[in-house]
Structures are given as structure tokens and as C-alpha cells.
Amino acid sequence: METKAGFVALIGRPNAGKSTLLNWLLGEKIAMVSHKVQATRKRLYAIVMHKNTQIIFIDTPGLHEKERLLNRFMLEEALKAIGDCDLILFLAPVTDDIKYYEKFLELSQGRPHLVVLTKIDLVDNAKLLAKIGEYQKYQEKFLDLIPVSVKKNIGKEDLLDTITKYLPEHPYYYDPELLTTENIRDIYKELIREAIFENVSDEIPYESDVIIEKIEESENLDKVYAMIIVEKPSQKGIIIGKNGETIKRIGRDARRLLEQFSGKKIYLELFVVVKKGWTKNKKELEQIGYIF
């Protein structure tokens, strides 16, 4: 049988549900998910085998305006994925204004793409058809439009079949048994960041990051030692919380996420350090792993 393989970039505004869609298509949770915007910072590669096709999905940060240096890195990550992929999935939540798609068209360099209309469980059929109608005036720009709902498990097979149709014949790039090209450190880092996003409000999640200092792996237990970075001493106090309650909660939620992913027991040790202005300092960003 002829095989197909290709790279498919997930593109959309911040909080459009790219990481949620990726985990759904993969059938495993490897990408950080948060209801807060701009949670994803780097490209993440996940591999889905569908019939005779290897689909390498690239999860990306949301398309947004450049602000601090870290935000510029995030936008560049998305633009690189647009330039490097075989196919783009533009995620358009059904309740979104079509202006987000129009902005995407300005950035997309004419690259082949599908419009994936997400969260269709939020509207009735009349509103869904009306939204599809709005996109029809751009039907010469996209290859296909696929409505999906992760929550209701609608459209998964149709979406994978459609992606397969537009990918080139090519030998598999990776071992078909692989789920991702990411190493365990990067996945653990992102899952700990998710726990921070879910337990701490305001600007702190956006001015924090995680460095995995050490992982000691054994058959049934991983010992993970991680450092949480913040920009201000006051943020360190909030992360730790009164009597250490907040960091205990972060640790508990992060350990649960790590155990779900690894299938092992996890011993997790977290500590917090202040690196003033790290989101605006190129040298600091590169030391953490954001290479420009």
C-alpha cells in the first residue's frame, strides 16, 4: 500500500482550542490545555496514524499582536509552522467573528488550508448553517470546511479523512509507534505549567515558566525536580501561598497530570525562584529554551 505523510499546522487565535483538538485527535493528553489565552508558547509535534497516512500535527501559539519579547517569539513560532507545513488547519470556533479568519488570510502566504469549525455543540443547526454561509464567500481560499465538536465527539473521522486526502504520498517520517517527537522533560514541563495556569490568576501564569532540573526514572516511579520561575518577589509569594497552600495545590494537580500521561507514580518536588524581567530578556529566554 502506498503511504502518505505530512506536517499539519494547527493555527488560530489564542484560546481557539488548538491543544484540546490535538489531544482529541491523538487520543492522549500531551498538550497543555487552559481556558486562559496564550497558554501554548512553543510548537509541539504529535503523530497520528490514520489508515495508510502519518499525520504530524504541529500545535502552535495563538496568532496575536506582538507585545513583550516572549510574545514575539510565540508569534514567530506560529509563522514558522505556517511556512514549514504541508497543510494548515485554521481553527474557527463557531461563535467567533469571521474577522479572525480574514486576519489569518493576510498571514497565511497562500498556503493550502482547511477551515475547522469548532465547538459546534454551542449552537443550534440554524446558527451553524448561518456561520458556514459566512465562510462561503471565501470558499476559493480554503480546500474544505469541516465542523467538529470535541465535547460531543463529532467530526473526528471526517476531519482525519479530509486531511489524509490532501497530504502527499511519502514514506513515514517517524516510527508509527511514536505519539510525539517531544522528550519527556518538555511534556512534563508543559503539564506543570498547566497546573500553574489553573491554580493562579491574573498575570502570574504569563510571567511564570518551568524548568525541569532533573528526572530520575524507574520502572514504576519517576522522581521529578522542577523550578518555577517568576518575575517578581510578590509573585513568588502568591505561587507559594499562605502556609504553602497554593504550591501544594499546584503540585497535587501537576502530579495527577504527570501520572495520567506516564502511567507511573510520580514524586514531584517544586521550588520557586525570581528572575526579574525574564520575559523581556533574550538571553534569559534562550536559557529557558525559547531560541529565536
Angle at 41 between CA 36 and CA 43, to 5 degrees: 125
For the record, the C-alpha cell of 212 comes out as 525541569
Across 209-223, average pLDDT: 95
Domains and CATH numbers, the chain: 4-166 (3.40.50.300), 184-288 (3.30.300.20)
Of 274, 265, 266, 283, whose CA–CA distance to 227 is shortest? Answer: 274
CA–CA distance, 99 with 151 (Å, rounded to integer) = 25
pLDDT of residue 34: 63
For the record, the C-alpha cell of 132 comes out as 458556514
Q: How far is CA 63 from the centre of its chain?
A: 12
Q: At what angle do helices 245-262 and 184-199 cross, to 10 degrees?
A: 140
pLDDT of residue 39: 62
Is the pLDDT score of 205 beyond 60? yes
State the burial class of residue 118 (Cβ atoms within 10 Å of its Cβ: 0-12, 13-18, 19+).
buried
Across 201-208, average pLDDT: 80
CA–CA distance, 14 with 101 (Å, rounded to integer) = 13
For the record, the C-alpha cell of 216 comes out as 530520575
pLDDT (tens digit per residue) in 71-127? 777 777 777 878 889 999 999 999 999 999 999 999 888 899 999 999 999 999 999
Q: What are phi and psi of 89, to 5 degrees?
A: -105, 115
Length of the chain, in residues = 292
pLDDT of residue 71: 74
Q: Coil, strand, or helix at residue 269?
A: strand
CA–CA distance, 57 with 10 (Å, rounded to integer) = 7
CA–CA distance, 246 with 199 (Å, rounded to integer) = 7
pLDDT of residue 122: 95
Is the pLDDT score of 65 beyond 70? no
Q: What are phi and psi of 51, to 5 degrees?
A: 55, -120
DSSP one-letter string for 26-91: HTS--S---SSTT---S-EEEEEEETTEEEEEEE-PPP----SHHHHHHHHHHHHHHHH-SEEEEE
pLDDT (tens digit per residue) in 256-284? 999 998 999 999 999 999 999 998 888 98
Residue spans of alpha helices (H) in 85-224: 99-107, 125-135, 156-166, 184-199
pLDDT of residue 253: 97
Q: Are 109 and 8 in contact (CB under 8 A)?
A: no
Which is more confidently placed, 91 or 16?
Answer: 91
CA–CA distance, 61 with 39 (Å, rounded to integer) = 8
Query: Left if phi > 0, otherwise alpha if psi is -120 to 50, otherwise beta: which for 222?
Result: beta
Which residue in the block uniquely carries the three cell numbers 501520572? 259
Q: Are 242 and 287 in contact (CB under 8 A)?
A: no
Greatest C-alpha distance within the chain = 62
Paired residues of 20 in beta bridges: none
State the burial class of residue 137 (Cβ atoms within 10 Å of its Cβ: 0-12, 13-18, 19+).
exposed
